[in-house]
Amino acid sequence: MSAFNIAIDGPAGAGKSTIAKKVAKQLGFVYVDTGAMYRAMELYLTRNGLVRPDESDAAAREAFCRRAAKLCHGADITIVYRDGNQVVLLGGENVNPYLRTEEVSSMASVSSAVPEVRVKLVELQKKLAETENVVMDGRDIGTVVLPDAQVKVYLTASVEVRAKRRYIENVQAVKSGAQKSADDLDLEKIKADIAERDHRDMTREVSPLKQAEDAVLVDSSELGIDQVTETILNLAAKKLGRPCVITAATAGFCFGVQNAVDTVYKEIEKNQDGPINTFGPIIHNENVVEELKEKGVGILNSVEEAGTQKSGTIIIRSHGVAKETWEDLNRTGARVVDTTCTFVKKIHEIVHKASEEGKQIVIIGNHGHAETEGTVGWSSTPATVIETEEEAKNYRADPERIVCIVAQTTFNAEKFEKFVDLIAKNGYNIETNETICNATSERQAEARRIAKQADVMIVIGGKGSSNTAKLYEICKAECADTYFIQTVDDLDLKLSGGEKIIGITAGASTPKNIIEEVQSNVRRTDF
């Protein structure tokens, strides 16, 4: 098979580079950052005394072009990959750190308009694409550099959206300590600059920015990075004769899990005296737990074990703990950091208050699950855990007292409603609380939608993850050919050739990198 090329064109700020990198990584293709190559040329010209001319001075502009045309032939610009990362070499020097400086940026679109400069760089780009499967982004890739690319995309976004993106980037840069001018934090000025840049790129005589006739228009104004990436990947899949892949937007860490994991890493960075331990595994994912173990983070499995801690830090995971356990941990000599999910804390508050009021507590959830056990521990009276339909049917309560019902945050929403109905049929005065978190409900609903249209469904997550097990259950009911895996190593995907759509979702404890590894593996699997 000859080299497969993907060309992505579009105006500045549309997200071309970010998207192109993700597409290349997913497919195992070489990413060629043409913008970086042009910036390297601009750096070369700057180092050789060339400065941006006054745009109103025709003579200065002409002199600039003549000098740039002569100088560019001496530039030695190459691209290599080191440890999977693209490195731009200028005369053998790694110039990646210098390509985003204001000095180089000020030359943008000026030197690139010089025909000799473009010819020099296009020659290198074409040569690379002849022998390698590449993803290349720029402003004339589909029209000039790779006119025969199998996939061409024109990626755009409104001026307003692109300006807001640039503004946010600049604000974040200032927060991180980078020096920025007042213009960089002026949204209207940024908007005007982008509009001016668009005009220059679209009206230049040599290789102006335009959509190739056979390019697919993708407007990213209201789309996320992952959505745009998947759109392009599925265009490539069709050309390659592979099934399209649909990945759930809700797949991966939920807010609570992300916060818990981030907190542990922040504690590691603080490097304070004493050990760092989590009370129970921070999340139900063996890969994350093992990685933290390698960084010196231990696991305390009981209050007795925690009681031996006279210093250091104990981190309560997002599942939360019983009230008594929380109090015991705070009586140790260690500093306690509580990362209990806000949704879980809400359940604790409901259960504690309702039990104090004399109400009977029913928790619909999994027996033995850390979150369920913790919630039981916030009831001042005995609480009942219901996991199965049979338990719901057989539940008996004092008819004179209100039954307060809550759900484990990750419980199946449909099952919860069914169990509540079964309890209500016994004539009890029930008080139902919708405590399944929004993220869980959305994740389950999206998994069901994808599974209904998929020929193959892949669910990623730890075997001990309750919410992942429920996702598998939901998907399996809609798609018979459903896989439940922890990592890409568990995936033995066998395709017959008739599959058109492969769906992917993941539990709330599944890191993004594991999801991406599975995606990449699936996209590279031939029939």
Model confidence at 1: pLDDT above 60 = no
Over the stretch 377-432, which tens digit does the pLDDT of each residue have?
Answer: 999 999 999 999 999 999 999 999 999 999 999 898 889 999 999 999 989 999 99
Identity of the residue numbered 434: E
Measured CA distances, 242 to 29, 71, 480 (Å): 16, 46, 20
Is 332 a member of any domain? no
- Is residue 15 scored above 70 in pLDDT? yes
Q: What's the predicted TM-score (pTM) here? A: 0.69
Select from 80, 115, 132 the last residue of a domain. Answer: 132
Same-domain check for residues 392 and 357: yes
**Residue 398: which CATH number?**
3.40.1010.20
Q: What is the CATH number of the domain that holds 182?
A: 3.40.50.300
Residues 48 and 111 in one domain: yes
Last residue within a domain, chosen from 132, 161, 191: 132
**Could you tell me if 216 and 236 lie in one domain?**
yes
Task: Encode pLDDT of 216-264 as tens digits.
Answer: 999 989 888 889 999 999 999 888 888 889 999 899 998 899 999 999 9
- Where do the H-state alpha helices sit in 413-506? 413-424, 438-453, 466-478
DSSP annotation of 269 reads H
Residues 150 and 231 in one domain: yes
pLDDT band at 526 (very low <50, low <70, confident <90, very high): low
Same domain flag for 202 and 113: no
The per-residue pLDDT for range 122-152, each reduced to its tens digit, is 887 888 888 888 999 988 899 999 999 999 9
Same domain, 39 and 169: no
Kindly state whether residue 9 falls inside one of the protein's structural domains.
Answer: yes
Q: State whether 153 and 17 are in the same domain.
A: yes
DSSP string, 79-137: EEEETTEEEEEETTEE-GGGTTSHHHHTTTTTGGGSHHHHHHHHHHHHHHHHHS-EEEE
**Do 106 and 143 belong together in one domain?**
no
**Residue 349 burial by Cβ neighbours in a 10 Å radius (0-12, 13-18, 19+):** exposed
User: Coil, strand or helix: which one is 384?
Assistant: strand
Q: Quick one: 124 and 48 in the same domain?
A: yes
Domain span at residue 514 reads 442-523
The verdict on 24 and 138 lying in the same domain is yes
Q: What is the phi-psi region of residue 179: left when phi exceeds 0, alpha when psi lies from -120 to 50, beta otherwise? A: beta
Give SS3 for 336: strand
pLDDT at 393 (0 to 100) = 95
* Percent share of the chain, pLDDT over 70: 98
Q: Which of 267, 371, 387, 446 is catalytic?
A: 371
- Residues linked to residue 138 through DSSP beta bridges, in sequence order: 9
Q: Which of 104, 132, 160 is the last residue of a domain?
A: 132
Structurally, the chain folds into a number of domains equal to: 4
Query: Active-site residue 371, yes or no?
Result: yes
Q: Mean pLDDT score of the chain, rounded to an integer? A: 90
